[in-house]
Structure 1
Amino acid sequence: MADETEKRLTGILRKLPAAQAGMLLEFAEFLLQRHGVAGQEDGKIVDAMEIPAPVEIPRPVEETVVKAVKRLRATYPMLDARKLLNQTSDLMTQHLVQGREAIEVIEEMEILFRTHYEKLAGNAKD
């Protein structure tokens, strides 16, 4: 890493509150898993301990389906959004076009995201 970039990151990290500094560190570790060379031992890309836990974002009492998708993407930043796109779009269509209740769609989306996370974490253990 360039010395200037390292100094800039260190400066930013020092200025952030503890919670946000922790989030920055988790994001950096996530990027390292995705794009770094560390952790590619024995054919295993990541170790289960390296997969960050979901971010705790409480579900609002009243929430739209669109806001739920945004919340779930923020809750599970380690998931590849492209892999969830078709299923998420199908659920969104069921709500907007077919009139399926928002609460049902949101609950199914939560299961979808959690299942993808558990699969990712499970694959890392293998």
Structure 2
Amino acid sequence: MLPIPANKRGAAGKRLQALFEDLPEHERRTLLAFAEFLASRAPKTAPVAQTPVPQPRPEKESVVKAVRRLSATYPMLDKAKMLNQTSALMAQHVMHGRAAVEVIDELEVLFESHYNQYRKDRDEDSTE
């Protein structure tokens, strides 16, 4: 089986996984060689930190700046997965007048909980 974590596959990855599993061993090796060739041609990106890069919380910080700071602190997280929760908290501040400090406190908890889930998922993937 290809070592693709379930949470990283998407529809195309799942299809590729199914095709891979249906191939005989010699064809699997060919597919892997071709995938490695394609990957070698792809532009290289800077590695993403796997551990948080702490940034101190300023005394006075806007909610938007807090989201930027937390995104930089946790670069390994998929921000798209957090969009609904993050925007809901931001709306509570902007549209409903909730204090920025309270919203930022919750944002920090949100990012930390997503990081803990990220670590848990990575640990489970490494034991498979």
TM range (shorter): 0.5 to 0.7
* TM-score of the two chains, using structure 2 as the length reference: 0.61
Give the match's secondary structure for 1:59: coil
Alignment gaps of 5+ in structure 2: 1-39
For 2:79, the aligned partner's letter is: A
For 1:28, the aligned partner's letter is: A
Higher relative contact order (CA 8 A, sep 6+): 1
Matches within 5 A, 1:6-25: none
User: Which of the pair has more CA radius of gyration?
Assistant: 2
Q: Give the Cα–Cα distance (whole angstroms) in 1 for the partners of residues 60 and 66 of structure 2.
A: 10
Matches within 5 A, 1:1-126: 1=40, 28-30=46-48, 52-126=50-124
Alignment gaps of 5+ in structure 1: 7-26, 31-50
* TM-score of the two chains, using structure 1 as the length reference: 0.61
In the TM superposition, residue 71 of structure 1 has moved relative to its aligned partner by: 0.4
Instruction: Flag as ranges the 4+ runs of structure 1 deviating above 2 A.
Output: 27-30
The sequence identity of aligned pairs, in percent, is 51
Alignment RMSD: 1.9
